[in-house]
Chains A and B, each alone.
Chain A
Amino acid sequence: LAKTTQPISMDSYEGQEVNITCSHNNIATNDYITWYQQFPSQGPRFIIQGYKTKVTNEVASLFIPADRKSSTLSLPRVSLSDTAVYYCLVREGFQKLVFGTGTRLLVSP
C-alpha cells in the first residue's frame, strides 16, 4: 500500500481557501486517492475521492496532477466548523484503509 505524507497541522481564518497537499510517491496504477475528515470523538467522514485530474463536490475539490504522485484537497471559504483532522489515503478497490496521522486544521475567527 502506498504511503502518504501530509503536513501535521495548518492554520487558517474563516472565509479563506485552504489547500492541503498530500504526497504519495509510490501510488499504484489502480490506487484511488481518498480524503476523510474527522472531528473529535467521531468516526471519519468521507469527503472526496479521485483518480486523476480534478474532482469537485459540494464540500471540496481534489486536484491530482498527471503523475498522481501528489494531490491537493481544496476547501473553499472555510468556517470554524471545518476545524478537524483531514486524512489523505490511497487504496485499491475495497481494501482496508491505511490512515496516517492526518493534518490538523485549525480555523480561527
Chain B
Amino acid sequence: DTGVSQDPRHKITKRGQNVTFRCDPISEHNRLYWYRQTLGQGPEFLTYFQNEAQLEKSRLLSDRFSAERPKGSFSTLEIQRTEQGDSAMYLCASSERGMETQYFGPGTRLLVL
C-alpha cells in the first residue's frame, strides 16, 4: 500500500511535554496538508505545503505549533508545551499537482493528560 502514512498512530503525553508527528505523503504528491479533528467534528485545516514551502497557516496553528517539510517529501508537526486542549486526531493529506483530490492518512491520535 503506497498511501499516506503517519507515525505514530497514537501518542499519550503529559501536559507541558513536546510531541512530534510524522507524515509521509504519496510519493509523487507535491502538496501536503495537516488537519486536526476533535470528537464529533469534521477535520479543521492547520497548514499546507507545496514542496518544501509552507504556503498557508490557519489561525488554529498557535505559536506552540510548527510544521516542516524540509526536503519536500515527509513532513513533521511539532507541538510544544502541550495542553489538554491539544488532544485530537491529527490528520495528514497529500495531493498531486494538477489534481485536486486530497488523500488522507490514518491520523495520529494525541491524548494530553
Q: Which residues of A contact B (CB under 8 A)?
A: 32, 34, 41-46, 49, 87, 91, 93-94, 96-102
Residue of A41, A45, A96, A102 touching B109 (CB-CB under 8 A)? A41
> Considering the chains assembled together, what is the distance between the CA atoms of A32 and B100 in angstroms?
9
**Whole-angstrom distance between the Cβ of B100 and the nearest chain A Cβ:** 5
**Whole-angstrom distance between the Cβ of B74 and the nearest chain A Cβ:** 16
Provide the residues of chain B in CB contact with A44, threshold 8 Å.
43, 91, 104
The DSSP consensus for interface residues of chain A is loop
**From A87, which residue of chain B is reached at the shortest CB distance?**
B42
* Per-residue contact bits, chain B 58-94, to A (CB 8 Å; 1 contact, 0 not): 1000000000000000000000000000000101110
Provide the residues of chain B in CB contact with A42, threshold 8 Å.
106-107
Residue contact A97 to B101, C-beta cutoff 8 Å: no
**Whole-angstrom distance between the Cβ of A66 and the nearest chain B Cβ:** 22
Q: Can you name 23 A-B pairs with beta carbons within 8 Å? A: A32-B100, A34-B101, A41-B89, A41-B107, A42-B106, A42-B107, A43-B4, A43-B104, A43-B105, A43-B106, A46-B101, A46-B102, A46-B103, A94-B31, A96-B45, A97-B45, A97-B102, A98-B45, A99-B42, A99-B43, A99-B44, A101-B41, A101-B42
**From A49, which residue of chain B is reached at the shortest CB distance?**
B101
Residue contact A100 to B106, C-beta cutoff 8 Å: no
Provide the residues of chain A in CB contact with B97, threshold 8 Å.
94
Provide the residues of chain A in CB contact with B106, threshold 8 Å.
42-43
Most buried by B among A87, A96, A102: A96
**Whole-angstrom distance between the Cβ of A42 and the nearest chain B Cβ:** 6
Quick check: is B48 within 8 A (CB to CB) of the other chain?
A: yes
Provide the residues of chain B in CB contact with A87, threshold 8 Å.
42
Residue contact A102 to B42, C-beta cutoff 8 Å: yes
